[in-house]
Structure 1
């Protein structure tokens, strides 16, 4: 693997203050959130698909989508879990392997066979309903796997932060510019996995970037404690990393 499976750190963190400005909607049967830029700054025919962490569509992901929209990008978050996200700061003994295999109810799996069609439906919505011709994607934690998996469906530029569950062949298959924001302390995207990912990307022939952020842990780009100056700085820099990447390679 280029990154390890999800673990307890994938659902730990802090809820951020703010008032989301996008709209909730359905894409097919799936919950979604759409953040639309002001027409005066909107990038024509361009969008970002936001593939979320295991907490799915919630306060922090909505605020991040709004930030992408404030930079001119129509941004769609899609619920990958059919209404079965993981609770923020839930029980420390939460069984991630069982949740992925069967879901919380025992009959709602979150494996790639079930998640892939949801991502494909979101991409189809953006292309057919919103007229998107240039598509970027951001993936946080769990969502990173599905950014790299869906290059084949038209993702042209990618950004992922503290990725989990990415297979080496999936990373090798992403034949487009890819930027990664990594945490200094991360049991999922370890130093070993990061260096392996660097080696894979170096062979890709496409632009790539891995930025390592000090004094933060897995999940920092979405769920850090913004009262801590180091964590707040890293989160903001990861976001600017993504915007700069898209401004350079997607527009």
Structure 2
């Protein structure tokens, strides 16, 4: 993992959702009340309690008219947002390699799939969006082998995404891609833009010039360019879900 995955800004604002318990016993942030359409958010490394991602969920619920879920996919462990804006030398005892090992694809995929199946059983239409860590997960949820768990996917600056996952996607795909991203590399961007159109899928690739990995969920609202980018990313996702969930 690159340092860009754990840098950024925490936004002001009070999330308006509620906490529920899933059938598996895990905690979930839920906002919105549409009984027909749901959006599953697979969080970034700062997890389900990060205020920014909850504020985004509130916006999706209102503007895309959906019930939005942010489950805890880190087993109760929370990476402190206090390290945001700090130099790596100030991260203290943070042990990213072990944190990532505890939350690897192999460890977390089964519960992500189980939650998506739970939503598919309750809602007529289901979309999924993943930020950073969540990027690989939504591609797997939208794979041709997933059994139709979701109707569309979106991702912003995905991490751990590999070519095989890109090749196997089978639902409409949106990618919100900053220009500067050491993990969603130029090679992966080129591969996505060459392969996904060949799959016969609706595809929306959006380029965000001069912005960096993490901008869509950790951008600085005091920086005009970053604010413009994160608002554009939010609006793009809202438009995407309005197209495919209604």
Q: Distance in 1 between matches of 2:136 and 2:79?
A: 17
- State yes or no: 1:139 paired with 2:135: no
| Between 201-210 and 134-143, the greater mean CA deviation after superposition | 201-210
Are the counterparts in 2 of residues 56 and 80 from structure 1 also a CA contact under 8 Å?
yes
Q: 1:35 aligns with which of 31, 37, 41?
A: 31
Name the structure 1 match of 2:56: 64
Aligned to 1:96: 96
Using the alignment, how far apart are the partners of 1:85 and 1:176 within structure 2? 31
Residue 215 of structure 1: aligned partner: 210
Q: Which residue in the other structure is 2:219 paired with? A: 224
Q: CA deviation at 1:85?
A: 3.2
**In structure 1, how many angstroms separate the alpha carbons of the residues matched to 2:78 and 2:30?**
18
Local SS of the residue matching 2:199: coil
CA contact (8 A) 1:7 1:96 kept: no
Q: Please, what TM-score do these two structures have when normalized by structure 2?
A: 0.89
Q: Could you report, residue by residue, the CA deviation over 1:94-122 in whole angstroms, capped at 9, with x for unpaired residues? A: 55333222xxxxxxx21122211221232
Off by >4 Å, runs of 4+ in structure 1: none
Aligned counterparts of 2:185 and 2:96: Cα–Cα separation in 1: 18
- State the Cα distance separating 1:165 from its structure 2 match: 0.4
> Is 1:167 aligned with 2:162?
yes
Are the equivalent residues in 2 in contact too, given 1:32–1:77 (CA < 8 A)? Answer: yes
Q: Given that residues 26 and 32 in structure 1 are in contact (C-alpha distance below 8 angstroms), is that contact kept between their aligned partners in structure 2?
A: yes
CA shift for structure 1 position 225? 0.3
Q: How far apart are 1:29 and its partner, in Å?
A: 2.6
Unaligned runs of 5+ in 2: none
Gaps of 5+ in 1: 1-5, 102-108
Question: 2: CA distance between counterparts of 1:55 and 1:190?
Answer: 22
C-alpha separation in 1, matches of 2:130 and 2:75: 18
TM-score (norm 1): 0.87
Q: Which moved more, 1:111-120 or 1:233-242?
A: 111-120
Q: Could you tell me how far apart the structure 2 residues matched to 1:12 and 1:181 are? A: 18
Number of the residue aligned with 2:196: 201
Q: Secondary structure at the match of 1:48?
A: strand
- The number of residue pairs the alignment matches comes to 232
2:103 to 88, 110, 113: 110
